[in-house]
Amino acid sequence: MLGKISQLEQLFSPAISSLGCELWGIDFRPQGKNSLLRIYIEKQPGGVQVEDCEKVSRQISSILDVEDPISGEYTLEVSSPGLDRPLYKLAHFAAYAGNQVELRLRVSFENRRNFKGLLKGIEQDEVILEVDGEEYLLPYELIEKAKVVPTFS
């Protein structure tokens, strides 16, 4: 699956950049006729607007029609990563240090797969997470899914 995501990133990133946006990440959930291809885009300054999503969606649809990298039926969705944004790249973890995050690992680490705590930063290829006063160094390649937990004051 990671190979497919990487292929899609290489395919979509230049087109998204040409529209003044940045490819934040891609989720692909193959589920037969209910498969979903979700593209997250970011735009600075000002953030992502509905019009940005529409433009990117049309461009990506054209690329998908020509290149046909995904077999079968699926729904394409383009959106902003939002406040509870998923974290895909090591650089995302570095940029969101100081925030609360939830993450799930591909395999157990110290007898657990799910973590929720304060993202302290990164150290080489490990994510530093403080959970209940204890610091964990979690290998980036073991992270299956991660997202920022929004806080409202």
Predicted confidence (pLDDT) per residue in 11-40, tens digit: 999 999 999 999 999 999 888 888 899 999
How is residue 89 written in tokens?
């790249």
With cut-offs at 50, 70 and 90, classify the pLDDT of residue 2.
low
Domain map of the chain by residue range? 2-79, 90-148
How is residue 64 written in tokens?
């998908």
Beta partners for 139?
Answer: 126
d(CA 101, CA 129): 9
d(CA 153, CA 14): 38
d(CA 51, CA 143): 32
d(CA 114, CA 134): 15
Predicted confidence (pLDDT) per residue in 85-100, tens digit: 999 999 999 999 999 9
Do 2-79 and 90-148 agree at the fold level? no
How is residue 150 written in tokens?
């929004």
Domain 2-79: assigned CATH number: 3.30.300.70
Q: What is the pLDDT of residue 49?
A: 95
Entry pTM: 0.88
Q: Regarding predicted confidence, which is higher, 34 or 138?
A: 138
Mean pLDDT across the chain: 93
Domain 90-148: assigned CATH number: 2.30.30.100
pLDDT at 134 over 90: yes
